[in-house]
């Protein structure tokens, strides 16, 4: 689907539904710049994100120097 920025702004709810249905909307501004609007892959709308899913990319990103199997340093020393 193609739309102008003005039309996209006016009919956003309809374009959002189309994107959720799997369609891709191409929006073009007056200067000729193009943008693509589509639904993001991942968590379905309305479902809560678990802490494990939210922190998944951070797991193991920082080396603390301690084994991950211990609780040392977490207030139980």
pLDDT, tens digit, for every residue of 65-74? 666 666 666 6
pLDDT, tens digit, for every residue of 14-40? 999 998 888 999 999 899 999 999 888
Cα 44 versus chain centre, distance: 10
Mean pLDDT taken over the chain: 77
Domain that holds residue 29: 1-39
pLDDT above 70 covers a percentage of the chain that reads: 56
CATH number of the domain within which 33 lies = 3.40.1620
The answer to whether position 54 is within a domain reads no
Do 20 and 37 contact (CB within 8 A), yes or no?
Answer: no
pLDDT value at position 66? 62
Q: How many domains does the chain have?
A: 1
């Amino acid at each position: 689907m193609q739309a102008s920025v003005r039309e996209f702004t006016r009919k956003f709810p309809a374009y959002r539904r189309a994107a959720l249905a799997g369609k891709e909307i191409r929006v073009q501004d007056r200067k000729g710049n193009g943008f693509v609007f589509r639904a993001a892959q991942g968590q379905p709308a309305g479902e809560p994100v678990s802490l494990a899913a939210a922190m998944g990319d951070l797991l193991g990103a920082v080396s603390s120097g301690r084994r991950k199997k211990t609780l040392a340093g977490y207030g139980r020393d």
